[in-house]
A and B are shown apart, each in its own frame.
Chain A
Amino acid sequence: MLSLESITKTTQDWLLAKFDPTIALAIECVIVILLCITLFAVLGLVLVLLERKVAARIQIRLGPNRVGPGGIFQTAADTLKLIMKEGLTPDTADKFLFNLAPFVVMMVAMLLLAPIAFAKNFQIWDINIGVLYISSVSSLSVIGILMAGWASNNKYSLLGAMRSGAQIVSYELSAGFAVLTIVVLTGSLQISEIVAAQENGWWLFKGHIPVVIAFVLYIIAVTAETNRAPFDLAEAESELTAGFHTEYSGMKFALFFLAEYINIFIVCAIGATLFLGGWMPFHIGSWEAFNHIMDYIPSSIWFMGKTFFLIFLIMWFRWTFPRLRVDQLLNLEWKYLLPISLFNLLLVTVVAIMGWHF
């Protein structure tokens, strides 16, 4: 049966047979980089279109429907437009940092892709601190935003960057605690082990109350971390004229835009891995026959299905809720999410020690 696992295995065997190990490794690196960039481009196009379509349906509109059948080439046309636009650099900006910032944001998004398991045995780097790696590297993305906001030499950008910084730094905490609940239950930080632990059921169902609470907290916290509505104070078109990327145009703006959608994909992929079993098909305890039928669906489809379900959920939030004020945002984190996640961590520890989960 043709699967991603077998394709990678054949490729590696072929490379090892042809070249010596170091060169084979280098070639593999190049292939992986190219695949990542392709994935980014495709995801950018698909997610932006999806967002516009979902937004339209929720607001009882039709959405883009002119370019191509049903408007499916709309984002491709937009990208073409952005490529042809001039990438302006303001005169009084700190030119070096101004031009560096979009690439920092992109690089962070790329680094985050490394430990994600896209399918069974199909993962770039199964690092043994998987989850910790993700939460540490994702804390870097704030740097790119701060850099962009400061280097633009524009007060709206600076305000947007400050807001974004405060927001990301505080919401990282509850996202981290939500991730910790799963780490407590699994007893490992490694992505492959977390997925393997869900072979007889996803954590969302096996871990019942504490995991459901953690799941809700995770979704809220990552929505805030990716600067999306209702937590899009950093961008706030109506107040800050798009915040930290006010001064960006053309492809540099497109990189920010792309990075935002890639980050959404990544956080949803991680959420799917932690709470919904990653590439693991839907298994129920010891129902052998049922589990066997579920295994016929390829693992990559399971992974993508779950990830896109979470992405849809986040889009649903965005087009339903109004934007929060800064004080409401910080109140929500420090007075509600953080105490609840601390309490939840205690609860899940008790559950794990007593063995009350399935």
Chain B
Amino acid sequence: MFLKDYISDVYNGVASLLKGMRKTGYYFTHSKEIITEQYPDNRATLKLADRFKGEVVMPHDDNNEHTCTGCTACELACPNGTIKIITKFDITPEGKKKKAIDAFIYRLEMCTLCNLCITACPSDAIKMVPNFEHSVFDRSKLTKILNKPGSKIKEGIE
């Protein structure tokens, strides 16, 4: 039926438009929904989203141990050469040689925060943190070494 289709078209169109308007009308009348952060003013109480990505860091525990094995999966995964891993060989107490990282070099100025290194990491050694105040006067300061001095790999991580 042509006429029936026509009328149901009009009805469905109007109904879907009203649905959209209900949502925006709800937002208009509910000021608690506003998500704007007035950044420099509320720096102390800033609330960032959980998935906000600002910088790659390597978490260390209390014993200054990390979980990076130096496998270079992140270096290979990085699309623009942000990460450079320099490895060394530690001598274990048993006298065996073991591969470990000397320096995990991370160039923040080249990073697009794409998260590919995080997903590539087999031992969850690196993660994204919501730091975003990266302004510095010299860009060499943006080249960071993520493993802390004197840190070593956690026991049992291969």
B is bound to A: yes
Establish whether residues B36 and A320, one from each chain, have CB atoms under 8 Å apart when the complex forms. no
Establish whether residues A62 and B28, one from each chain, have CB atoms under 8 Å apart when the complex forms. no
**Cβ of A24: which chain B residues have Cβ within 8 Å of it?**
none
Establish whether residues A320 and B21, one from each chain, have CB atoms under 8 Å apart when the complex forms. yes
Establish whether residues A316 and B28, one from each chain, have CB atoms under 8 Å apart when the complex forms. yes
Chain B binding surface SS class: helix
Q: Please tell me which one of the listed residues B25, B27, B31 contacts residue A59 in the complex, with CB atoms under 8 A apart.
A: B27
Chain A residue at smallest Cβ distance from B32: A60
Establish whether residues A60 and B21, one from each chain, have CB atoms under 8 Å apart when the complex forms. no
State whether the Cβ of A356 lies closer than 8 Å to any Cβ in chain B.
no
Establish whether residues B28 and A54, one from each chain, have CB atoms under 8 Å apart when the complex forms. yes
Interchain CA distance A54-B29 in the complex, whole Å:
10
Establish whether residues A321 and B20, one from each chain, have CB atoms under 8 Å apart when the complex forms. yes
State whether the Cβ of B136 lies closer than 8 Å to any Cβ in chain A.
no
State whether the Cβ of A103 lies closer than 8 Å to any Cβ in chain B.
no
Q: Please tell me which one of the listed residues B10, B23, B25, B34 contacts residue A336 in the complex, with CB atoms under 8 A apart.
A: B10
Establish whether residues A57 and B10, one from each chain, have CB atoms under 8 Å apart when the complex forms. no
Task: Name the interface residues of A317-348: CB closer than 8 Å to any CB of B.
Answer: 317, 319-321, 336, 340
**Given known A54-B28, A57-B27, A57-B31, contact A62–B38 (CB-CB < 8 A):** yes
Q: Shortest beta-carbon distance, B98 to chain A, in Å?
A: 53
Establish whether residues B20 and A320, one from each chain, have CB atoms under 8 Å apart when the complex forms. yes
State whether the Cβ of B133 lies closer than 8 Å to any Cβ in chain A.
no
**Cβ of B17: which chain A residues have Cβ within 8 Å of it?**
320-321
The contact string, 1 if C-beta is below 8 Å from chain B, for chain A 226-240, is 000000000000000
Task: Name the interface residues of B29-56: CB closer than 8 Å to any CB of A.
Answer: 31, 33-36, 38
**Given known A316-B21, A321-B20, contact A62–B10 (CB-CB < 8 A):** no
State whether the Cβ of B24 lies closer than 8 Å to any Cβ in chain A.
yes
The contact string, 1 if C-beta is below 8 Å from chain B, for chain A 52-65, is 00100111111001
**Cβ of A58: which chain B residues have Cβ within 8 Å of it?**
24, 27-28
Establish whether residues A60 and B10, one from each chain, have CB atoms under 8 Å apart when the complex forms. no
**Cβ of B36: which chain A residues have Cβ within 8 Å of it?**
60-62
Interchain CA distance A319-B97 in the complex, whole Å:
65
The contact string, 1 if C-beta is below 8 Å from chain B, for chain A 286-323, is 00000000000000000000000000000011011100
Count class of interface residues, chain A: 10 to 19
Q: Which of B9, B28, B36 counts the most chain A CB atoms within 10 A?
A: B28
**Cβ of A317: which chain B residues have Cβ within 8 Å of it?**
21
Establish whether residues B24 and A319, one from each chain, have CB atoms under 8 Å apart when the complex forms. yes
Interchain CA distance A55-B156 in the complex, whole Å:
56
Interchain CA distance A180-B38 in the complex, whole Å:
50
Establish whether residues A62 and B21, one from each chain, have CB atoms under 8 Å apart when the complex forms. no
Interchain CA distance A189-B57 in the complex, whole Å:
73
**Cβ of A57: which chain B residues have Cβ within 8 Å of it?**
27-28, 31, 34
Chain A residue at smallest Cβ distance from B17: A321
Establish whether residues B20 and A62, one from each chain, have CB atoms under 8 Å apart when the complex forms. no
Interchain CA distance A72-B42 in the complex, whole Å:
22
Q: Please tell me which one of the listed residues A62, A65, A320, A340 contacts residue B24 in the complex, with CB atoms under 8 A apart.
A: A320
Establish whether residues A60 and B27, one from each chain, have CB atoms under 8 Å apart when the complex forms. yes
**Cβ of B21: which chain A residues have Cβ within 8 Å of it?**
316-317, 320
Interchain CA distance A321-B36 in the complex, whole Å:
22
**Cβ of A60: which chain B residues have Cβ within 8 Å of it?**
27, 33-36
**Cβ of A59: which chain B residues have Cβ within 8 Å of it?**
27
Establish whether residues A340 and B10, one from each chain, have CB atoms under 8 Å apart when the complex forms. yes
**Cβ of B35: which chain A residues have Cβ within 8 Å of it?**
60-61
Q: Shortest beta-carbon distance, B40 to chain A, in Å?
A: 11
**Cβ of A316: which chain B residues have Cβ within 8 Å of it?**
21, 24-25, 28
Interchain CA distance A12-B45 in the complex, whole Å:
61
Q: Shortest beta-carbon distance, B18 to chain A, in Å?
A: 10
- 10 interchain residue pairs of minimum CB distance: A62-B36, A320-B24, A58-B24, A57-B28, A60-B33, A320-B20, A61-B36, A60-B34, A58-B28, A320-B21
Known: A58-B27, A320-B20. 17 other contacts (CB 8 A): A54-B28, A57-B28, A57-B31, A57-B34, A58-B28, A59-B27, A60-B33, A60-B34, A60-B36, A61-B35, A61-B36, A65-B38, A316-B21, A316-B25, A319-B24, A320-B21, A336-B9
Mind listing 13 A-B residue pairs with CB under 8 Å?
A54-B28, A58-B28, A60-B27, A60-B34, A60-B35, A60-B36, A62-B36, A65-B38, A316-B24, A316-B28, A317-B21, A321-B17, A336-B9
